[in-house]
Amino acid sequence: MSPTAVETSLAAPLLEVFASIQGEGLYVGEPQVFVRLRGCPLRCRWCDTPGSWKVDGAREVRVDARRGVRREPSWSTPFQAACWIAECEPGSPRTVSVTGGEPLLWPEFVRALASFASPRRIHLETGGAHPRSLERVLDVVSHVSLDLKLFEDMDEPVEIEATPLEPAPRTRAEWAEVRAECLALVRGRDAAAKVIVSGSRAPALFDELFEGVAEHAPELPLFIQPATAVGSVEAPGIELVTAVAERARALDLRVRVVPQIHRLLGIP
């Protein structure tokens, strides 16, 4: 059956669909299915999925189905993605983690996927740069994992022409604004914030992020995640991680220090 025009208009470029164990955040350890979308305008220096940044030339999605891995055309309708989710999950239906790249470049895809994948829970992992799109999907996602990023950890964003959306923030002031908006949007919901600590940062740099949480969503669980050493990215020492966590605790935030479990397990 070929997709309808409406379904086609909701298509988004996918990078991979696979089952694994959630390695980060509030649902760490939960077996889930991951739908990784292509496209991200941000350039986090410790990004562990730079292969997801670009949409141009996206040709294939890797589908790690129970019957074996295969490649399909990258641009996929939400219905097609939901079929692949069912093909990839062993056993009963799992929570679906929609990640990227930046899934909020494709809010209408996320909305429709939530419908087709029902009754599975949809968890959203976002870089926190697109509050309008976040607002658009909040009623269909069961959990939001919101990154809070140091301005010093990002290079200039590179906008993606295919996505008619709010541009990514570029200045420290713009970041402070979208961070406040995103935190206010997830306040009181099933959500958590994640802060990456890499090896070369002064603990005081993180105060701006923590003060934002304290002001806009003080009850939000806050995960401090040591960066995984990749390429030129240094992993932090435990002294630095502890010092950063203490600065958050000083503001009475709900701090947890958790490394990337999937890296420790050697799984995707």
Site residues for ligand SF4 per CB under 6 A: 40, 42-44, 47, 49, 52, 100-102, 127
CB of 127 to ligand SF4, least distance (A): 3
Residue (of 191, 190, 185, 194) closest to 216 by Cα position: 185
C-alpha to C-alpha distances, 74 to 59, 66, 203, nearest whole angstrom: 5, 19, 41
CB of 227 to ligand SF4, least distance (A): 10
- What DSSP string runs through 128-189? S--HHHHHHHTTT-SEEEEE---GGGEEPP---TT--SPPPP-SHHHHHHHHHHHHHHHTTS
Q: What are phi and psi of 210, to 5 degrees?
A: -70, -35
Q: Which of 242, 260 has the CB closer to ligand SF4?
A: 260
Q: Which of 89, 194 has the CB closer to ligand SF4?
A: 194
CB of 160 to ligand SF4, least distance (A): 11
Number of H helices, E strands in the chain: 8, 13
| Residue 155 token pair | 């290079």
CB of 6 to ligand SF4, least distance (A): 28
Q: Which of 24, 102 has the CB closer to ligand SF4?
A: 102
CB of 50 to ligand SF4, least distance (A): 7
**Tokens 């939530």, located at residue:** 114
Q: Which of 34, 79 has the CB closer to ligand SF4?
A: 34
User: Can you say whether the dihedral through the CA atoms of 217, 219, 220, 224 is positive or negative?
Assistant: positive
